[in-house]
Each structure stands twice: as structure tokens, then as C-alpha cells.
């Protein structure tokens, strides 16, 4: 990852780790208790899940944007292979529950969406935005929470792009599309698992072949001079541990919320509510006329599961960054980098609305749900990343080739 878009900067003196960590942890616990008491106990627990997701994402440096960029530019596939492990565990956990329709007594459903121009174009735009904005949806949250001032700019304009996307949503959905396809319904739970595992294996093998062809051997994991409690508190955590933890926490989300982990619907909601505060009206837009979205718009923002989890992710990343002694925001951001954050953020938000989600809701949770649209999203977004990488020198002149799996998204 370039210096301009690293999750944290050491240019300023870091704040005392213990004080910030305690504050962030207290906010997560207090927030989960209040949300649980006012709304629903499961909502409160989901804030805790969000906090854990933030810590895992930060300490394991589990990024999508940097992992894809490293493979595209250097043919190093460790990050992509970790994503395949994450997805493999997720489908093994998700498919039987989705096939049964319930999990621990709770009705559950997956993110299964139509396959059409909207998904293809939206995912491509999102992919370009990933490279210009410096992160994906999860990456924007955890790097911003971890102290990256530039990613706060990306987040603000991610929200702006989400609102614009919701305004145009109905038109995009009027374009040709195929009906949703679920591997769980098409091949059964274990048939779908077998197909998915074969595809994950093929992708992992492809990355191995390409990496060995370029470098002669696979990249070695860096040695960490930390052991025991110190490493688990301050990081870094093994990348594969992050992959497993993310799959388990997404499964916990399914059990508590009745649906998988998502991020960007909350951005559209935040933006819509802000737009209404300044006199705008989104109620006539088709996106906000669906029963679920209309209910969210007319209710407290703290009753929204995705909002609660997003806040938890940012607080969890803040806690992780402070424990690592790395929370040190740098507000000296080059103008070109600011421009890339603005443009990339808008593209991320707009693309996510068109494509029924982001790298989490469409890619991770979509594939974990057995939805074919998740695979289409992966292909289109990867092509978008390739285009975005070609545009990066316009905003980050002279940036060097990435080191193996740069920290963060």
C-alpha cells in the first residue's frame, strides 16, 4: 500500500495506547449494552461482533485492495489465497444453515441477488474506486478507525456516492438482468460446497503457479519478534488466523442477525438521513420505497444492524491501533491524494449500490450465500482494480511497487 493510504502514520507522536484502548473498549461495551436494552439483545451482541471484526481486520492486516494490487502488479498471491481460505470455511458453515432455513432456532437467509448490467458495471466502478480511494468497504472502516486521516475523506465521499447510487438505483435495476441463482438451491448444500471448494482451489492454484513463474518460489511469511500475550494484544496476527476469524464472525452475524455481514447499506442510510436534515427528500426514490429501506429511514439509526456493526468495527480498529501504539493521525495529505480519496470514495459508494453490495456484502457474503452474483462481482471488480491500478500514478506519482501484502486494505 502506498504511504498515502496506509492505515496509520507514525509522523505524529502516538497517543497513550492504554488510555485509548480502554476508552474504545468501554465504548464498545457501553454501546452494546445500550443498543441491546433499547432495541434488541442480538443488536447489542452484533456491536461486539463488529468490535471483534475491527480488531481482526487491523491486527491481521486483512485487506482486499492491497492483496489484489500486489497480485496484479507483483504476482504475489498470499493475500488472495487467504481470501480463498476465508471463503472456503464460510461456505462450509453457511450452506447447510441456508439450506435448512434456520440456525440455532433463528430464521436465516443469504444475500442472493439478480445478475445483470447493474452488478457488472457497479462492481467494475467499485474496483476502480478501491485503488483510488485506497481501500474497500471493510478497509475504509478499519483504517479510518485505526487513525488514517485520508481514509476519513474516502469514507465521507463513500457515503456521498452511496446516496447518489440510491437515487439512480431504480433506473439501473430496469436494465436487463437474469434472475438470482443460488448454488444452495441449484445443487443442494453439499453439492454447492463441492462446487465452491473446487473454484476456490482453482484460484489458489492459479496464484501459486503465477507467483512461482514470476519469483521462483512462494513468498515467505515475515518473522515476528513477539510472542504470547504481547503479540495477541498489539499484533500483527497471522494472515490465515484473520481469514478463519472473519469467516467465523460472519457466521456469528448470520446466527444473530438472520443474514450475513454487510457494510454499505448503512452508508446509504447515513447519507440519506443527512440529506434530509438539510432539507432534501429521498422518499420518492425507488430505493427508499422498499419496505425494509423505508423502515430503516423512518427509524432510529441505532436500530440499524449494519450501522451498529460498522461503529463496532471502527471502535475495534481504534482499540487495536492504540494497543499497537500506532494511533497517530497524519493530516498532512497531498492534494492529489485527497483528490483520489474523493473520486475513489464516490466510485466506491456508487458502485456498491448498483452491485448489491461491496467486497463484504456482495463478494464475501454473496459467495458465502451461494449467490452467483458474488462470483460475477469478483470478476468485474478485479477488472476494475486492474483499471484503477493504471490510474494510480496520476494521483500517486512515483509510487514504488508494493511490498508483500502491504498493511491494511
What are 107's strand-pairing partners? 102
Q: Where are the alpha helices (DSSP H) in 117-225?
A: 117-133, 137-145, 149-173, 183-215
**Please, how many CA atoms are within 13 Å of residue 402, restricted to the half-sphere of its CB?**
29
What's the pLDDT tens digit per position in 52-71?
A: 999 999 999 998 999 999 99
Cell of 295: 423502515
pTM, full prediction: 0.91
CB 314 within 8 Å of CB 143: no
Q: Is residue 407's pLDDT more than 70?
A: no
Q: How many helices and strands (H and E) does the chain possess?
A: 16, 4
Q: What are phi and psi of 331, to 5 degrees?
A: -95, 5
Cα–Cα distance between 59 and 233 in angstroms, integer?
9
> Would you list the DSSP string of 270-320?
HHHHHHHHTT---TTSGGGGSHHHHHHHTS-GGG-HHHHHHHHHHHHHHHH
Q: Is residue 405's pLDDT more than 90?
A: no
What's the pLDDT tens digit per position in 11-56?
A: 334 445 578 889 999 999 999 999 999 999 999 999 999 999 999 9
What's the pLDDT tens digit per position in 276-292?
A: 999 999 999 999 999 99
Q: How many residues does the chain have?
A: 409
What's the pLDDT tens digit per position in 312-343?
A: 999 999 999 999 888 888 899 999 999 999 99
Cell of 150: 485520508
User: According to the model, what pLDDT value does residue 336 have?
Assistant: 95
Containing 354, the helix (H) or strand (E) segment is helix 335-354
What's the pLDDT tens digit per position in 191-223?
A: 999 999 999 999 999 999 999 999 999 988 777
What's the pLDDT tens digit per position in 67-106?
A: 999 999 999 999 999 999 999 999 999 999 999 999 998 9
User: According to the model, what pLDDT value does residue 18 have?
Assistant: 75
pLDDT band at 236 (very low <50, low <70, confident <90, very high): confident
User: According to the model, what pLDDT value does residue 17 have?
Assistant: 57
Cα–Cα distance between 150 and 202 in angstroms, integer?
36
Q: Is residue 181's pLDDT more than 90?
A: yes
Q: What are phi and psi of 177, to 5 degrees?
A: -160, 150
Q: Identify which of 342, 356, 344 has the alpha carbon closest to the alpha carbon of residue 385.
A: 344
CB 267 within 8 Å of CB 313: no
Q: Identify which of 51, 73, 212, 74 has the alpha carbon closest to the alpha carbon of residue 142.
A: 51
Q: What are phi and psi of 63, to 5 degrees?
A: -110, 155
Q: Measured between alpha carbons, how far is residue 89 from residues 28, 57, 293, 342, 364 in Å?
A: 27, 17, 31, 35, 11
Beta-carbon contacts of residue 6 (< 8 Å; ≥ 6 apart): 143, 148, 406, 407, 408
Q: Measured between alpha carbons, how far is residue 367 from residues 112, 119, 272 in Å?
A: 9, 14, 28
Amino acid at each position: 500500500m502506498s504511504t498515502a493510504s496506509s492505515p496509520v502514520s507514525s509522523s505524529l507522536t502516538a497517543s497513550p495506547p492504554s488510555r485509548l484502548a480502554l476508552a474504545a473498549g468501554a465504548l464498545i461495551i457501553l454501546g452494546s449494552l445500550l443498543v441491546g436494552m433499547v432495541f434488541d439483545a442480538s443488536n447489542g451482541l452484533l456491536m461486539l461482533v463488529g468490535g471483534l471484526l475491527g480488531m481482526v481486520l487491523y491486527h491481521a492486516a486483512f485487506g482486499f485492495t492491497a492483496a489484489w494490487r500486489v497480485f496484479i502488479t507483483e504476482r504475489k498471491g498470499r493475500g488472495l489465497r487467504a481470501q480463498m481460505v476465508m471463503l472456503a470455511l464460510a461456505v462450509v458453515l453457511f450452506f447447510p444453515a441456508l439450506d435448512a432455513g434456520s440456525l440455532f432456532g433463528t430464521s436465516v437467509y443469504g444475500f442472493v441477488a439478480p445478475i445483470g448490467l447493474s452488478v457488472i458495471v457497479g462492481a467494475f466502478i467499485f474496483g476502480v474506486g478501491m485503488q483510488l480511494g485506497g481501500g474497500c468497504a471493510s478497509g475504509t472502516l478499519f483504517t479510518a478507525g485505526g487513525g488514517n486521516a485520508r481514509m476519513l475523506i474516502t469514507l465521507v465521499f463513500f457515503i456521498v456516492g452511496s446516496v447518489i447510487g440510491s437515487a439512480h438505483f431504480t433506473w439501473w435495476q430496469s436494465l436487463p438482468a437474469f434472475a438470482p441463482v443460488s448454488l444452495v438451491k441449484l445443487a443442494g448444500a453439499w453439492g454447492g460446497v463441492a462446487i465452491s471448494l473446487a473454484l476456490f482451489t482453482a484460484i489458489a492454484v492459479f496464484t501459486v503457479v503465477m507467483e512461482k513463474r514470476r519469483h521462483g518460489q512462494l513468498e515467505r511469511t515475515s518473522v515476528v519478534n513477539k510472542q504470547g500475550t504481547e503479540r495477541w494484544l498489539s499484533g500483527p496476527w497471522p494472515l490465515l488466523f484473520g481469514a478463519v476469524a472473519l469467516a467465523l464472525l460472519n457466521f456469528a452475524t448470520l446466527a444473530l442477525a438472520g443474514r450475513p455481514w454487510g457494510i454499505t447499506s448503512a452508508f446509504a442510510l447515513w447519507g440519506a438521513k443527512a440529506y434530509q436534515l438539510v432539507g432534501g427528500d429521498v422518499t420518492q426514490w425507488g430505493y427508499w420505497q422498499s419496505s425494509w429501506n423505508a423502515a430503516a429511514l423512518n427509524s432510529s439509526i441505532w436500530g440499524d444492524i449494519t450501522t451498529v456493526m460498522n461503529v463496532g468495527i471502527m471502535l475495534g480498529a481504534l482499540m487495536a491501533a492504540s494497543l499497537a501504539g500506532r494511533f497517530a493521525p497524519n493530516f498532512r495529505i497531498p492534494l492529489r491524494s485527497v483528490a483520489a480519496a474523493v473520486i475513489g470514495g464516490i466510485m466506491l459508494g456508487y458502485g456498491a449500490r448498483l452491485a448489491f453490495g461491496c467486497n463484504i456484502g456482495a463478494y464475501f457474503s454473496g459467495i458465502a450465500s451461494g449467490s452467483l452474483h458474488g462470483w460475477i462481482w469478483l470478476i468485474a471488480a478485479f477488472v476494475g482494480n486492474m483499471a484503477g491500478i493504471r490510474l494510480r500514478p496520476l494521483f500517486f506519482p512515483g509510487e514504488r511497487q508494493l511490498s508483500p501484502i502491504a498493511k491494511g486494505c
